[in-house]
């Protein structure tokens, strides 16, 4: 079943994109007055039922869309419906023939770029100019997906570290910006609604990019040309070999490993005791990972008690905002343990483990920064727990950075972010 879905993934993604555009078009046609700005903003104190909460989300989405299509919502709605129908036709074409794959690869690339530009425009309402940082991160991500055939697979870890660095910088500055305004010009409802809508479009953009890369590689558009061993190079070919080669600058993990080895040797010399052979770094990761999960569960249970003990009202949007972010942190902690287990006993998912712990470390570290330096009531963790989680996640991140990824499987080497 799963293999069949993988074989038809490009068709399924096209159908998902088509369904999204049709639903978005229908939504716009039924909310033209809100999009034009005729509707009033939702007062969080008036949110009393789940329907009120859903209505508040759609009102916020309407106001976001109003920035781009406020003058012509009917035309935009009809266009999106027609474009969604066109995407259904594209899905049928991909399923039936490979004749147009080259043209469709460029089409999906353009669609991915347009979706992320739209996302950036929407994010500007919350994050200001810092939203551009996410656009830069996406461009780096896109370039990697298109040209990873030309990059040395032995440096795959460095590739992921660079992508994560750009996303991490974007996350820190955008969160700093949103928490600076969350009680003056923004509300938790604004942020939660825009972040959810942004996440949906971002995922759709990445799916579109994946289809573009898949169709391009299936037609050998992005395949690295093979050079014949022993073949005499012309002067032109020799000159071309002197061009900038990014692989020359992407082997910095060796310097990290050398530094790690020097530190470990200095520690051994200092304590005059060698580490036991049975002690693996994976066991430390598992122990610390379990502790991280435990403290997140405790905090999540405390927030869950607000809901179950009747102390919560839907109008208290800050509790929903905190609960959603805590739930995301919980999912990240569980995924980290899962990938660490596979890493320990199956020697796989090194890169995924690194991606997850980076995301979790960013979440708890930025949360601590916001709690200490921003005068806001929103906080994911109580301060002692937050400090403890940072102290637990930081060594896990450092272990992932300094750990050698030597036993990757073929599938894990080929995986893309």
pLDDT tens digits, 35-58: 776 655 555 555 555 666 666 667
pLDDT of residue 189 exceeding 80, the answer is no
Q: Residue 9: which of 94, 89, 106, 85 has the closest Cα? A: 94
pLDDT band at 118 (very low <50, low <70, confident <90, very high): confident
Looking at the domain assignment, is residue 286 inside a domain?
yes
Q: Are 130 and 173 in contact (CB under 8 A)?
A: yes
Coil, helix or strand at residue 135: helix
Whole-angstrom distance, CA of residue 128 vs CA of residue 79 = 28
Least reliable range by pLDDT among 29-43, 198-212, 243-257, 307-321: 307-321
Q: Over range 262-283, report the average pLDDT.
A: 77
Least confident among 5-9, 11-15, 41-45: 41-45
Q: Is the domain of 146 the same as that of 277?
A: no
CB 380 within 8 A of CB 326: yes
Highest mean pLDDT among 192-196, 242-246, 399-403: 399-403
Q: Per-residue DSSP letters for 175-203?
A: HHHHHHHTTTT--HHHHHHHHHHHHHHHH
Question: Does residue 18 belong to any structural domain of this protein?
Answer: no
DSSP state of 243: S
On whether both 302 and 189 belong to a single domain, the answer is: no
Mean pLDDT lowest among 41-50, 86-95, 176-185, 187-196: 41-50
Query: ∠244-249-254 over CA atoms, to 5°?
Result: 155
Which of 201, 222, 243 marks a domain boundary? 222
- Burial-class residue 134 by CB neighbours within 10 Å (0-12, 13-18, 19+): buried
Question: Same structural domain for residues 108 and 170?
Answer: yes
pLDDT bucket at 391, cuts 50 / 70 / 90? very high
Range of the domain at 344: 252-414
Residues 406 and 284 in one domain: yes
The pLDDT of residue 151 is 78
| pLDDT score for 411 | 44
| Stronger pLDDT, 9 or 332, i.e. the higher one | 332
The Cα 318–Cα 192 span in angstroms is 10
Q: Are residues 294 and 368 in the same domain?
A: yes
Residue 257 shares a structural domain with residue 167: no
Q: How many structural domains is the chain composed of?
A: 2
Residues 284 and 406 in one domain: yes
Please check the confidence at residue 18 and state whether its pLDDT lies above 70: yes
Half-sphere exposure of 194 (CA within 13 A, CB side): 24
Between residues 229 and 198, the one the model is more confident about: 198
Distance of alpha carbon 244 from its chain centroid, rounded?
A: 30
Encode pLDDT of 293-319 as tens digits. Answer: 999 988 887 766 555 555 445 445 566
Q: What is the dihedral of CA 251, 286, 390, 325, to 10 degrees?
A: 100
Which pLDDT score, from 0 to 100, does residue 246 have?
A: 65
**Alpha carbons within 13 A on the beta-carbon side of 328:** 18
Q: Is residue 146 part of a domain?
A: yes
What is the model's pLDDT at position 367?
Answer: 85
Do 205 and 303 fall within a single domain? no
Residue 235 pLDDT > 80, yes or no? no
Q: Give the CATH number for residue 272.
A: 1.20.140
416 has pLDDT over 60: no
pLDDT top residue among 271 and 112: 112
d(Cα 318, Cα 411) in Å, to the nearest integer?
Answer: 42
The closest of 340, 165, 173, 347 to 252, measured between CA atoms, is 165
Task: Answer whether residue 240 is part of any domain.
Answer: no
Same domain, 161 and 112: yes
How much is the pLDDT for 240?
A: 46
Confidence of residue 22 (pLDDT cuts 50, 70, 90): very high
Give the pLDDT confidence score for residue 393 in this predicted structure: 93
What value does the mean pLDDT take over residues 364-392? 80
Domain-located, residue 337: yes
Domain contains 195: yes
Does residue 273 sit in helix, strand or coil? coil
Q: What is the dihedral of CA 130, 131, 135, 141, to 10 degrees?
A: 80
Q: Do 209 and 262 fall into the same domain?
A: no
Within-domain flag for 236: no
**137 within domain boundaries:** yes
Residue 379 predicted with pLDDT over 80: no
Whether pLDDT at 64 is above 80: no
Q: Which of 38-42, 193-197, 348-352 has the lowest mean pLDDT?
A: 38-42
260 with 201, same domain: the answer is: no
Mean pLDDT for the chain? Answer: 78
Among candidates 142, 389, 392, which has minimal Cα distance to 285? 392
Clarify whether residues 260 and 389 are in a common domain.
yes
| Mean pLDDT lowest among 219-228, 327-336, 384-393 | 219-228
Q: How confident is the model at residue 95 (pLDDT cuts 50, 70, 90)?
A: confident
Q: What is the pLDDT of residue 238?
A: 47
* pLDDT exceeds cutoff 90 at 69: no
> How many Cα atoms are found within 13 Å in the side-chain-facing hemisphere of 49?
3
């Amino acid at each position: 079943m799963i293999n069949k879905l993988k074989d038809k993934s490009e068709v399924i993604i096209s159908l998902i994109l088509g369904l999204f555009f049709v639903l978005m078009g229908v939504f716009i046609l039924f909310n033209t007055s809100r999009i034009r700005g005729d509707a009033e903003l939702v007062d969080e104190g008036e949110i009393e039922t789940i329907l009120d909460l859903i209505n508040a989300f759609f009102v916020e989405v309407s106001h976001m869309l109003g920035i781009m299509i406020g003058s012509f919502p009917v035309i935009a709605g009809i266009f999106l419906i027609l474009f969604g129908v066109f995407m259904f036709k594209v899905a049928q074409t991909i399923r039936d023939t490979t004749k147009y794959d080259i043209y469709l690869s460029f089409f999906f690339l353009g669609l991915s770029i347009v979706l992320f530009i739209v996302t950036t425009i929407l994010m500007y309402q919350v994050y200001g100019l810092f939203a551009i940082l996410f656009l830069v991160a996406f461009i780096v991500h896109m370039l990697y997906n298109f040209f990873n055939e030309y990059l040395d697979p032995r440096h795959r870890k460095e590739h992921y570290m660079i992508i994560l660095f750009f996303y991490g910088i974007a996350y820190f500055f955008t969160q700093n910006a949103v928490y600076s305004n969350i009680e003056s010009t923004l509300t938790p409802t604004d942020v939660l609604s825009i972040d959810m809508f942004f996440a949906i479009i971002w995922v759709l953009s990445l799916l579109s990019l994946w289809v573009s890369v898949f169709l391009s590689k299936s037609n050998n558009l992005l395949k690295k040309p093979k050079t014949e061993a022993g073949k005499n190079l012309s002067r032109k070919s020799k000159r071309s070999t002197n061009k900038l080669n990014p692989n020359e600058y992407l082997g910095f993990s060796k310097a990290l490993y050398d530094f790690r080895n020097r530190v470990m040797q200095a520690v051994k010399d200092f304590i005059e005791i060698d580490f036991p052979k049975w002690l693996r770094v994976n066991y430390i990761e598992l122990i610390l990972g379990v502790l991280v999960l435990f403290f997140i569960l405790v905090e999540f249970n405390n927030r869950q008690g607000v809901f179950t003990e009747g102390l919560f009202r839907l109008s208290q949007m800050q509790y929903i905002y905190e609960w959603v972010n805590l739930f995301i942190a919980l999912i990240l902690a569980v995924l980290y343990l899962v990938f660490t287990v596979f890493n320990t006993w199956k020697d796989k998912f090194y890169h995924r483990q690194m991606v997850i712990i980076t995301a979790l470390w960013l979440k708890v570290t930025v949360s601590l920064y916001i709690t200490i330096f921003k005068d806001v009531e929103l906080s994911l963790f109580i301060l002692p727990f937050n400090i403890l989680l940072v102290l637990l996640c930081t060594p896990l991140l450092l272990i992932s950075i300094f750990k050698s990824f030597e036993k990757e499987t073929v599938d894990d080497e080929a995986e893309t972010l």
